[in-house]
Amino acid sequence: MREATRVVADAAGGVCVAAVLLVATAAGIAPLAVTDPRPLDAGAVALALVAAAAVAVRRRHPVAALVVLNAVPVVWFLAPYAGRVVTLAPLIGCYTLASLRGWRWGLAGAVVTALAQIVAIRLVLGDTATVGVVPDTVLSVATAGSAGTAVGYYRALLAATRAQLARETRSREERARRHALEERLRIARELHDVLGHTMATISVQAGVGLHVVDQRPGHAREALTTIKKICDEGLTDIKAILGALRSDAQAEAPGGRLDRLPELIGTAEAAGLQVELDVVGDPRPVPAAVDLAAYRILQEALTNVVRHAGATTVRIVLAHEPERLRVQVRDDGTARHTADEVRSGHGIDGMRERAHALSGRFSAQAHPDGGFEVRAELPVPATG
């Protein structure tokens, strides 16, 4: 549609050029001293139509159009027809060539056009009058070429700007999609950790309650109390996670910090594990992301021990080193069984992703001395 509109506009421009040329010549506008000039006839109309056709196709064939438009004045003055308006038609071709092909082509077209116009005028005026016409001719041609070059640079700059804006728009959209995907993965990982830990603990405590409900009702009450506490904590975390889905801004990660580690250990002990905690180094504040990642890794590791290891003892090492926080969880269960069970889910992958997201290191494998060990090293910026 746009191309068709441009073709129609060029054709209309060509018709206007022919009409102006014929009307101006017939009205004696911009006369040129010609001895015994020919009146307007079919030849003049034919030359005007040729100029109109060249103007109409100048965008698609700028070089050929300029050659034709430069030839028309020469033939016009050889005829000879009176009137200097015909010398304006080549300026259109010179302008178009410079705007489409750049300043080099524009300079070449301007030189050719100026020479052609000077030759055309000399055919009529002779040497004595040519000197006064040359400056005007050169100035008009130079103006047309310069204007075309300026317009060409403007169009190129506009096109480059639009292309850059389009690239930036695509880049922003891609970043937005990537951010949304990362946010969904983050929420899924949080839900997996919270629900996995909660459900595993509930399952163990429910089993204990069913086992002792008749013989030791007091222990069954303790199991039910632990289940309620775990459910309340899990619901609080889930509400915080789901809040991110209802808010435009990224919600703060749900509670899950190393200061809650004693509660986590207490839950594991309530499930029948004997937990040994060894804190190495001087505890110091760590970035929130490291704090949360360390807690979630410990939570997932203990959950896997409760669900899969069949262990009785688990040892936790939390080492505060100068440039990193080292987390180790080792159980005394059946390592082969633990590895097979854990790798069938997303627990190991989730812990690994948390460590790698912070440019840390992670490993989960059977220990040479028995049991299964989870080890994570999370970088911590040094504080001066």
Listed in order, the ranges of the chain carrying CATH 3.30.565.10 are: 271-384
Give the separation between CA 120 and CA 135, rounded to whole angstroms.
15
**Helix, coil or strand: residue 110:** helix
pTM of the model: 0.50
Mean pLDDT (whole number) for 89-96: 91
Q: What are phi and psi of 92, to 5 degrees?
A: -65, -45
* Highest mean pLDDT, choosing among 130-134, 251-255, 375-379: 375-379
Show Cβ contacts of residue 326 under 8 Å, excluding neighbours closer than 6 positions: 280, 317, 318, 319, 375, 376, 377, 378
At 30 the pLDDT is: 63
Which of 102-111, 202-211, 228-237 is predicted least confidently?
202-211
Indicate the pLDDT class of residue 69, thresholds 50, 70 and 90. Answer: very high
Per-residue pLDDT of 345-370, as tens digits, reads 557 877 888 888 888 899 888 888 88
Q: Looking at per-residue confidence, does 290 or 198 come out higher?
A: 290
At 49 the pLDDT is: 92
Question: Euclidean distance between the first and final Cα of the chain, in Å?
Answer: 67
* Nearest CA among 261, 258, 315, 254 for reference residue 284: 258
The mean pLDDT of the chain is 79
Give the separation between CA 380 and CA 281, rounded to whole angstroms.
14
At 75 the pLDDT is: 87
DSSP string, 307-373: III--SEEEEEEEEETTEEEEEEEE-S-HHHHHHHHHTSSHHHHHHHHHHHTT-EEEEEE-TTSSEE
At 125 the pLDDT is: 64
Q: Looking at per-residue confidence, does 10 or 197 come out higher?
A: 10
Helix crossing, 288-304 with 261-270: angle to 10°?
0
DSSP class of residue 271? Answer: T
Mean pLDDT (whole number) for 162-184: 82
Mean pLDDT (whole number) for 30-35: 63
Please tell me the number of Cα atoms within 13 Å of 317 on its side-chain side: 13
Mean pLDDT (whole number) for 269-296: 83
Which of 22-26, 97-101, 152-156 is predicted least confidently?
22-26
CATH 3.30.565.10 for domain 271-384:
yes
* Highest mean pLDDT, choosing among 90-104, 206-220, 234-248, 340-354: 90-104
Does residue 338 have a pLDDT over 50?
A: no
Show Cβ contacts of residue 213 under 8 Å, excluding neighbours closer than 6 positions: 220
Of the chain, the percentage scoring pLDDT greater than 70 comes to 72
